[in-house]
Amino acid sequence: AQSVTQLGSHVSVSEGALVLLRCNYSSSVPPYLFWYVQYPNQGLQLLLKYTTGATLVKGINGFEAEFKKSETSFHLTKPSAHMSDAAEYFCAVSTTNAGKSTFGDGTTLTVKP
Amino acid sequence: DSGVTQTPKHLITATGQRVTLRCSPRSGDLSVYWYQQSLDQGLQFLIQYYNGEERAKGNILERFSAQQFPDLHSELNLSSLELGDSALYFCASSVTDRAVEQYFGPGTRLTVT
């Protein structure tokens, strides 16, 4: 079984500030981990993914995430927030044994001018 | 544009009715996944097909069914609709039967009145 917990359903930052969205996962086998972004009235877009290898993963739009096995975490960061980053972000986990992804409840990011 | 298409974009229907949602995966993708996104349940995996065969099942109600056709497009059939079925229904596709990288369609918004 696999599960995802996103800490904080709403995060608000000022433009130019650090973005940190938290994700913890549970998996009985080595996980694949993902971050997706959803803009209003749109589908989910893949930001970045971790499968194997380097634990620091860089994605689109300046986002990156670090896989920390000891902490079962995969937090998403961006050094400097832009207004265009305002959206809902989903962390997801999959495994080599499962076709499906399990998604967290999502975190809504608000960026203040 | 992910390359995954879904029709229709919006659907309004009455309780007790039956509807069909359609999804065309990205060119070359063999696997199709259906997800339901609602305010109270979040993003829930419903079912996966791979090359025409059912591969994994999630929280899919018995009133719901799906299939994948030889041309790889998929349809999700929802019957005896209830108010609680109102949600965004997403289709995603991937090359293999493993959700290592899924591409999401724009979704179909179903409103049951």
Distance between CA atoms of A66 and A75, rounded to whole angstroms?
6
Q: Average pLDDT in the A10-28 region?
A: 95
A35 touches chain B (CB under 8 A): no
Distance between CA atoms of B62 and B81, rounded to whole angstroms?
12
Q: Both tokens of residue B1?
A: 């544009």
Give the residue from A62, A32, A64 showing the smallest Cα distance to A48. A64
- In this complex, the residue of B2, B42, B106 whose CB is nearest that of residue A103 is B42
- In this complex, the residue of A43, A49, A100 whose CB is nearest that of residue B101 is A49
Does residue A48 carry a pLDDT above 90? yes
pLDDT in tens, B64-101: 999 999 999 999 999 999 999 999 999 999 988 776 77
If pLDDT is split at 50, 70 and 90, which confidence band does A30 have?
A: confident
Q: Average pLDDT in the B96-109 region?
A: 86
Give the residue from A103, A97, A95 showing the smallest Cα distance to A35. A103
- In this complex, the residue of A51, A90, A96 whose CB is nearest that of residue B43 is A90
Inter-residue contact A36 to A46 (CB < 8 Å): yes
A29 forms beta bridges with none
Whether residue B48 and residue A99 make contact (CB cut-off 8 A), yes or no, is: yes
pLDDT in tens, B22-53: 999 999 999 999 999 998 888 899 999 999 99
